Amino acid sequence: MIIELDAKTDVGRIRAGNEDNFLVLDVSSAEAWVGSDGALPPRNLNRFDLGPKGLVLLVSDGMGGALAGDVASRMAVETVRDKLIEGEASSTNGNNNSGLPLINILSNAVDEANHLIHQRSLEDARCSGMGATLTGAAVTPEGLGLVQVGDSRGYVIRGGEIKLVTKDQSLVQQLIDVGQITELEAETHMFRNVILQALGAQPELAPVTGSVRMRHGDILLLCSDGLSGKLRAEEIWQIVTEADGDLGLACDSLIREANQRGGEDNITVVLAKFTGDDLPAPTSNQILVLASPSGEEDVTLQPEDTPPEPAEL
């Protein structure tokens, strides 16, 4: 499998600081790119052959104001990075969890990030009440695993279609689920920014996991709500498609459009395209989200459908 990727985070037009962050980690080589480092991506991560140990992509949106939001999102991505790299380093000594699928290892690292952020918020008055969303993807030769906490999002673009492959853990999504409001009403609802789960908010965490069977030419997009709150899915698809394979241009165009529509929040986007002879060609544009990484049940989540409970993502 060949991976092409790019990512960008932007402070927006209103906020004084950027509390968003992202992570790109080639687990096989332990080469990482963290958004808050402010560095250009390592050359080896622009386009490369996927190694046997896989690739991890994350977007995290911090909250808590001032110092705290930035600390929370940085702790989220750096904890995941460090735990995965440490795990691979220890595997050479025969004492590791390398027998687990990458999505399970990622979920365990997310649990550890939750614990550390929660402890920091209790011990440091400056970080009291801080938290962070996290949307992550574990890419292996076997497929794409997803882990979700909060309301950052993941989309898959396949041909002429785009599909939301994560489900917001938010109050408005819960209201949609019980039929009290519509998807359209949720876009302007007074509680649209209230989330039901965040890293660090509680000592225990229940990340939602799922998976997608990837096809040749698929594009994965992870983003914070600074983007998804401004652009509808079909608008995201149009901008990415018009970039004609230039993922850097697509990132820039998406962020520019979100800023032109107000840019009240920080904006982060990660784009990855999957090609290569090992990936089957799509037989249709239909994108199925599996209820679990083991693929026990197919669930089609279209925007107009009534979504299942979050645990069934």
The three state secondary structure string of 17-34 is CCCEEEEEEECCCCEEEE
Distance, CA of 297 to CA of 292 (rounded, Å): 7
Secondary structure of residue 144 in the 3-state scheme: strand
For the chain, the first-to-last Cα distance in angstroms comes to: 25
- Tokens representing 263 are 């840019």
Note the Cα 274 to chain centre separation in Å. Answer: 16
For residue 13 the two structure tokens come to 């037009």
Q: What is the pLDDT of residue 91?
A: 57
Half-sphere exposure (CA, 13 Å, Cβ side) for 71?
Answer: 20
The pLDDT of 215-243, averaged and rounded, is 96
Determine the pLDDT at residue 167. 86
Per the model's pLDDT, the better-predicted residue between 293 and 206 turns out to be 206
Q: For position 194, what pLDDT does the model report?
A: 73
How far is Cα 153 from Cα 156, in angstroms, rounded to an integer? 10
pLDDT of residue 308: 32
Q: pLDDT for 2-60, tens place per residue?
A: 999 999 999 999 999 999 999 999 999 999 999 998 877 788 899 999 999 999 999 99
Q: Indicate the pTM of the whole model.
A: 0.88
The full length of the chain comes to 313
Select, from the ranges 85-94, 272-281, 289-298, 304-313, the one with the highest average predicted confidence (pLDDT): 272-281
Nearest by Cα to 198 from 149, 158, 156, 154: 149
Residue 166 CA to residue 152 CA, distance in Å, equals 9
Q: Given a cut of 80, is residue 245 above it in pLDDT?
A: yes
Most confident of 93-97, 150-154, 196-200: 150-154
pLDDT at 74: 96
Using the structure block, give the residue that is written with the tokens 């049940």.
Answer: 297
pLDDT in tens, 151-186: 999 999 999 999 999 988 867 777 777 787 777 766
Q: What are phi and psi of 152, to 5 degrees?
A: -70, 165
Mean pLDDT score, 283-302: 60
CB atoms within 10 A of CB 127: 23
Mean pLDDT across 74-85: 97
Q: What integer pLDDT is reported at residue 157 of this predicted model?
A: 97
Place of tokens 């380093």: 89
CATH topology classification for 2-308 = Phosphatase 2c; domain 1 (3.60.40)
Cβ atoms of 170 and 139 closer than 8 Å = no
Question: Taking CA 311 as the corner, what is the angle to CA 298 and CA 122, rounded to the nearest 5 degrees?
Answer: 150
145: which residues sit within 8 A by CB, 6+ positions away? 101, 102, 103, 106, 137, 138, 139, 209, 210, 211, 293
Of residues 23, 44, 48, 46, the one with CA closest to residue 34: 23
Question: In this predicted model, which residue has the larger pLDDT, 188 or 69?
Answer: 69
Closest CA to 23 of 67, 65, 73: 73
In this predicted structure, the answer to whether residue 129 has a pLDDT above a threshold of 80 is yes
